[in-house]
A and B are shown apart, each in its own frame.
Chain A
């Protein structure tokens, strides 16, 4: 057979690799900055773009999509060519993919800091960027499948399956969760409302973890671990089971983020059951990784690449064991809304994703520059800094989460809540300080790596096009007997469709019933659409990222009802595009905030939270007091809401601003009574209007019922 000579494209791998290192540092710096704001609120600089509510989405997006995203593409572009024995399908598409993705990251960073956000976690980017992501993702897909189709290797190695499943599922998740109706160039409302929005969002959010932070990295593990250890994976059979079981089960587990909320009970149970089942494939994968090193542990002592991988895979095992445990309702009742969740995701983020990325970079750079790593010692130091960093990060937060939850739930013998919310926060400040020390160590390690890689690059010579040889695939070749699966794994398109069916089933079963909820919910008669001013205020609430610290979901627990009021009902959220239930309570729940304090309290509190609640760690929102409210958008917003089914009267968009000013004047008048002079057309007035509205519909209903009795 004629052997063909061809060249692997290393330039594109290098570009993505550089981007990985840069965004690792950027993302971690943003993380460190928000971590410091927990105990030094002044670190928000009293400047809107650097407050927690805007910087935290920047941190999460930078880590997930910029750091891990670029890491995935680095690994895929390197391993896919070699596993397929072919150069990438099109160099042009590779570069469109690279620059497109970096442009999206830049646009994301700017818009998030300016406050353009959809208010849905890990999907905060506004609609024009959503469209750009779709386009770039399709470009990546064409390049991926084009390469697979022109491969010279008969079989599709298991890593490629993970890449295919990643591509198809992320496409599905992104499109379904991003349905939104544009109001203006950088503002949109989620197509879904309340319970449905929450379910779609966490179906997305959970599976973004699954198919962006897990499956592609597992693909990298199945390629780079055998490479670094120079031996095949422990059990290839297990890897096949691992793959199908993982993608089949993962897609169902989303609702475990919504336990004890207003989400229907059956959906919560579904989430729990599938989360428990997930332990099996996850641990199958972890053991497969660790057993690959059986009898080679002496190499682990020598080789930094393997060291990082061992800790990464161990962290994967820990996180995927903890995840199902956290999905048990009894555990979730304690862990949810606390720092426990933050600790959990950072075991995954710092341990699994970060360490796999570092391992891959330490492996790739010497290979592509045909040299040895500049300093093994520095790499080992990085390893220890990182490992100690993870421990110092996670342990205090586990402690903080558990302590705070127990304090929330404590009652005095007389039956009163034992602690003010603020006391439970100030109590765990030392944990927050320790956490940021852990983060600093981890970041220092990454800086060390950048230096080490830079020195390695300086001493080596880059191979832009790596020569390789292989025989082409013969089309005529037909074995006598073929098992269906072997047939399948040679057919990438069939594989794609099958993966889509597998993940589609879970999605449909989970989502379809809730889409019918709307027609089936006994709506609460007293729940009315927001007034134009409240709607504007709500958009400010979303813009400032209030949901990153405040939930709007009172769970049916004794302590929560005692602290916040009547627990939340599904029917209360039917006009909430997007829902703002939140996932973390750094501050108290706001679901029944309306009417709790006078308008002037909110005014002073926004100006300086510590003047009203000494010891509070909330940032100051001074600009809200001066910013003019943009009423030119009111009409478009009312029209968009009407399109989404919010029952405003016909033609209301044209007169909405009259009502808006009336309500604003009355709030300004209220404030004046408390000796606060303010114009009526500033943002704080709209925000106060919204805050005073939250959760009130049901309160008035109860009052009416009481008086009727």
Chain B
């Protein structure tokens, strides 16, 4: 009794991996771009919310 290869038995299993990888990469690149490009003043304003 070997406990391998059963993930292959799900029909269309490749889509699972691809979709999640895609979501992962897209989400992170968009977030990173935003974080890097974000307006300094806005960021400062948001970071100071707890203080006032």
Which residues of A does B touch, CB under 8 Å?
A: 79, 82-83, 153, 155, 157-159, 222-223, 226-227, 230-233, 236-237, 240-241, 244-245, 248, 262, 264-266, 483-486, 501-502, 505, 508-509, 512-513, 516-517, 520-522, 524, 569-571
Interface, chain B (partner A; CB < 8 A): 1-4, 6-7, 9-10, 13, 16-17, 20, 23-24, 27-28, 30-32, 34-38, 42-51
How far does the alpha carbon of A486 sit from the alpha carbon of B31 in the complex, in Å?
Answer: 11
Q: Kindly list chain B residues whose C-beta atoms are within 8 Å of the C-beta of A236.
A: 43-44, 46-47
The answer to whether A524 and B34 touch (CB under 8 A), given A232-B51, A513-B10, is no
Instruction: Give B36 Cβ to nearest chain A Cβ, in Å.
Output: 8
Apart from A233-B47, A513-B6, 5 more pairs, CB < 8 Å: A222-B50, A262-B3, A485-B30, A501-B23, A570-B3
Residues of A within 8 A of B35 (CB): 237, 240-241, 485
Closest Cβ of chain B: how far from A258's Cβ, in Å? 13
Contacts A484-B30, A513-B10, A517-B6: A227 and B51 contacting too (C-beta < 8 A)?
Answer: yes
A483 touches B3 (CB 8 A): no
> A521–B31 contact, CB under 8 A?
no
Chain B residue with the shortest CB-CB distance to A230: B51
Decide if A153 touches B49 in the complex (CB within 8 Å). Answer: yes
A266 to B7 CA separation, bound complex (whole angstroms)? 9
Q: Once the chains bind, are B49 and A155 in contact (CB under 8 Å)?
A: yes
Shortest Cβ gap from A451 to chain B (Å): 30
Q: How far is the CB of B28 from chain A (nearest CB, A)?
A: 7
B13: chain A residues within 8 A (beta carbon): 513
Q: How far is the CB of B50 from chain A (nearest CB, A)?
A: 5
Interface centre among B1, B3, B28, B35 (most CB of A within 10 A): B3
Question: Mind listing 11 A-B residue pairs with CB under 8 Å?
Answer: A222-B50, A236-B43, A264-B6, A485-B35, A486-B42, A516-B10, A517-B6, A521-B1, A522-B1, A522-B2, A524-B1
Chain A residues within 8 Å of B4, by CB:
264-265
B9 engages A244 (CB within 8 Å): no
Contacts A240-B35, A516-B6 hold; do A227 and B20 have CB atoms under 8 A apart? no
In the bound complex, residues from chain B placing their C-beta under 8 Å from that of A522 are 1-2
Is the pair A483, B34 in contact by a Cβ cutoff of 8 Å? yes
In the bound complex, what is the Cα–Cα distance between A237 and B1 (angstroms)? 51
- Interface SS of chain A: helix
CB distance from A470 to the nearest CB of B (A): 9
Judge whether A227 and B31 touch: CB under 8 Å.
no
Q: How far is the CA of A233 from the CA of B50 in the complex (A)?
A: 10
Cβ contacts under 8 Å, A486 to chain B:
34, 38, 42
CB-CB under 8 A from B17, the residues of chain A are 509
Evaluate contact between B34 and A520: CB separation under 8 angstroms. no
A483 & B38 in contact (Cβ 8 Å cutoff): yes
A155 to B16, CA, bound (A): 34
Within the complex, what minimum Cβ distance (angstroms) separates B1 from chain A? 4
Closest chain-B Cβ to A484's Cβ sits at a distance in Å of 7
Cβ contacts under 8 Å, A502 to chain B = 27
Given the interface pairs A484-B34, A569-B1, the reply to whether A248 lies near B50 with Cβ below 8 Å is no
Q: Which residue of B lies closest to A481 (CB)?
A: B39
Q: Closest Cβ of chain B: how far from A333's Cβ, in Å? A: 19
Q: Name the residue on A nearest B1 (C-beta).
A: A522
Partner of A483, one of B2, B20, B28, B37: B37
| A82, A232, A484, A571: most-surrounded residue (chain B CB, <10 A) | A232
Q: Which residue of A lies closest to B36 (CB)?
A: A237
Bound complex: CA of A590 vs CA of B52, how far in Å?
59
Closest to B35 in A: A237
Whole-angstrom distance from the CB of B9 to the nearest CB of chain A? Answer: 6
A521-B3 CB under 8 A given contacts A227-B51, A241-B35, A483-B34: yes
Chain A residues positioned under 8 Å from B46 (CB to CB): 155, 157-158, 236
B43: which A residues are within 8 A, CB to CB? 236-237
CB distance from B47 to the nearest CB of A (A): 4
* Chain A residue at minimal CB-CB distance from B17: A509
- Name the A residues within 8 Å of B10 (CB-CB): 512-513, 516
Smallest CB-CB separation from B7: which chain A residue? Answer: A513
Residues of B within 8 A of A520 (CB): 6, 9
Q: Which residue of A lies closest to B45 (CB)?
A: A155
The 10 closest A-B pairs by CB, nearest first: A236-B47, A232-B47, A520-B6, A485-B34, A522-B1, A157-B49, A513-B7, A237-B35, A226-B50, A505-B20
Point out the residue from B28, B34, B37, B50 that lies within 8 Å of A227, measured CB to CB.
B50
State which of A232, A240, A262 has its C-beta within 8 Å of the C-beta of B31: A240
Residues of B within 8 A of A222 (CB): 50
**Would you call A509 and B20 a contact (CB within 8 A)?**
yes
**Chain A residues closer than 8 Å to B6, beta-carbon distance:** 264, 513, 516-517, 520-521
Contact B9 A159 (CB under 8 A): no
Q: Is B3 touching A237 in the complex (CB atoms < 8 A)?
A: no
Residues of chain B with a CB closer than 8 A to A158's CB: 46
Interface centre among B30, B32, B45, B49 (most CB of A within 10 A): B49
Residues of B within 8 A of A223 (CB): 50
**C-alpha spacing A516/B11, complex, angstroms:** 11
Of A230, A233, A248, A265, which is within 8 A of B3 by CB? A265
In the complex, the answer to whether A83 meets B50 with C-beta atoms within 8 Å is yes
Q: How far is B30's CA from A484's CA once the two chains are assembled, in angstroms?
A: 9
A153 to B50, CA, bound (A): 11
A237–B38 CB distance below 8 A: yes
With a cutoff of 8 Å between Cβ atoms, the chain B residues found around residue A485 in the complex are: 30-31, 34-35, 38
Q: Chain B nearest CB: distance from A473 CB in Å? A: 14
A231 to B50, CA, bound (A): 9
Min C-beta distance of A698 to chain B, whole Å: 11
